Structure 1
């Protein structure tokens, strides 16, 4: 590698440098501990949930298969982002190779819409369970889950793959320091000497199309669910029906709330510290992942019983 100064070298000879909270070094110290805790919690809770669903035959149902997919997506997203951030915090190893950077970009842009699409499939499951209960067994089948998984993987991979490809094809010259903790497309493309309008417009359109349409359809599903629940006249029927949706609705709030806060904070960059959007971007990859399996584990009796059986079996 040729000598360099101020991290400004020809990118063909090196990788990128992630300037993660370089202007606020104190953030690294107090963030490393809670971030490590959340990462371990996310890995442990999701692994426990996956093992429980796999071993407990009573949980071999469509809804729990979709929940397993959500846990797998959470694990991959956490492993893609958080270990590198912690390595930067602990050892100041900011260099990331081109291959690793664009692979991270691909996974982030691909798996986040996959999560929103999985939430949509789970919302449809709850819609059929409450609005068309007599047809639930014939509509929500293992074949439905298989088709949903194929659709989720195909739709998001095909539509998001051009984002890292467009970014990788850009010509980089001069600085190669990314003002972020992760290889976000906009942060990376900003370093290019080429015109990046197509790159940015495509990501914006795809992000709002995929995640925006998923959240809109989820909202419509719950509108129909609420309308159906309000028509129930049997005592306690409405509460029982809503309780079956409670866990799923909380997961959607985790996903959408942090995402919306990040979007609005990013739009108001002149009014907030530039470190805030970076922090929210990192937290969005670990907080929902840590809380999702816990919410379902606490609120779903079948999962609690499955975990208890697993513990007794290994006890």
Structure 2
């Protein structure tokens, strides 16, 4: 009934329903979600702390790890506080401005996250294909500038999304079957013409992911070509080992995102709660796993973390 009390003359608010069909299980669902979020915060803040404290880690590769950690923390933090309020306190109301703000930051950080993965691929390319010039090509200052370019790109590409939404009238029924303000879910609540919003959202998603995956693929194509030219099998293994962590992070970042997007648009036969669970998990699980992967696969970082753990 509360959905239909929100007439167009009433306050500009949405109702986030959480995970429709699983309302009775919200408390139980919140347990793994909370654990994922806590592990994410602990792991990524550990990376930030250790890298900031250790002078020997003040290198381009670890500066990129810090950028990735900040993006991972931000992505989960954009959705989890409100999701937990829905699960624990049934606090489902969110203003239209709050909804649009959450959407902007979530999408901008996701675009920035993708940009960091591209820079990491470039870092691995230089390290393997031109190792003698690595220190001169990739300095901390240059990596920071590349990160700034990625941030500017994210803001410029995503800023039209909330601006286009602000011009739309919203219907009286503003119930969103989701735990956060996902773009299409909000657009569906408009009574106006949403063609531009849908087209721009789709185009910008394909442009950002398409360009980034192309650049990453190009980097790894050149890396594979360089590795194949090395005659030593041991050198082959060493070169490929330096890329393992980045490849794992890419797979767990892009695969769930693409799978969720495809099932959302083309999986009409799939239950709604499955779409929403997937949309939450791809924003929670990869950020939780990224610091674990780099902690295990990067010996220098692992040793420093173990040193601080032993001091506790």
Query: Which TM class, normalised by the smaller chain length?
Result: over 0.9
User: Where in structure 1 are there 5+ consecutive unaligned residues?
Assistant: none
Contact 1:17 1:95 in 2 (8 A): yes
Aligned residue for 2:266? 268
Aligned residue for 1:183? 181
Aligned residue for 1:250? 248
3-state SS in 1 of match to 2:122: helix
Which of 139, 146, 149 in structure 2 is aligned with 1:148? 146
Matches within 5 A, 1:32-71: 32-71=30-69
Which of 10, 14, 17 in structure 2 is aligned with 1:16? 14
Moved more, 22-31 or 60-69: 22-31
Q: 1:11 to 1:289 in 2, by over 3 A?
A: farther
Q: Deviations over 1:229-258 (max 9, x none)?
A: 122112410001110100011000010110
The Cα shift of 1:312 comes to 3.7
The Cα RMSD (Å) is 1.6
Contact 2:4 2:172 in 1 (8 A): no
Q: 1:79 to 1:140 in 2, by over 3 A?
A: same
- Size of the aligned set, in residue pairs, is 312
Q: CA–CA distance in 2 between the matches of 1:277 and 1:220?
A: 32
Q: CA–CA distance in 1 between the matches of 2:82 and 2:185?
A: 16
Contact 1:11 1:173 in 2 (8 A): no
Question: Which stretches of structure 1, 4 residues or longer, exceed 4 Å deviation after superposition?
Answer: none
Aligned residue for 2:162? 164
The Cα shift of 1:26 comes to 3.9
3-state SS in 1 of match to 2:171: coil
2:152 paired with 1:126: no
Contact 1:117 1:214 in 2 (8 A): yes
Aligned residue for 1:284? 282
Which of 290, 293, 300 in structure 2 is aligned with 1:302? 300
User: Where in structure 2 are there 5+ consecutive unaligned residues?
Assistant: none
Q: 1:265 to 1:5 in 2, by over 3 A?
A: closer
3-state SS in 2 of match to 1:16: strand
Q: Deviations over 1:164-198 (max 9, x none)?
A: 12112211131111122110111111111110111
Aligned residue for 1:214? 212
Moved more, 98-107 or 7-16: 7-16
Contact 1:7 1:177 in 2 (8 A): no
Q: CA–CA distance in 1 between the matches of 2:304 and 2:19?
A: 42
3-state SS in 2 of match to 1:293: helix
Q: CA–CA distance in 1 between the matches of 2:219 and 2:254?
A: 16
Q: 1:306 to 1:290 in 2, by over 3 A?
A: same
Q: CA–CA distance in 1 between the matches of 2:110 and 2:243?
A: 22
Q: 1:156 to 1:5 in 2, by over 3 A?
A: closer
Q: Deviations over 1:141-160 (max 9, x none)?
A: 12211210110111110111
TM-score (norm 1): 0.95
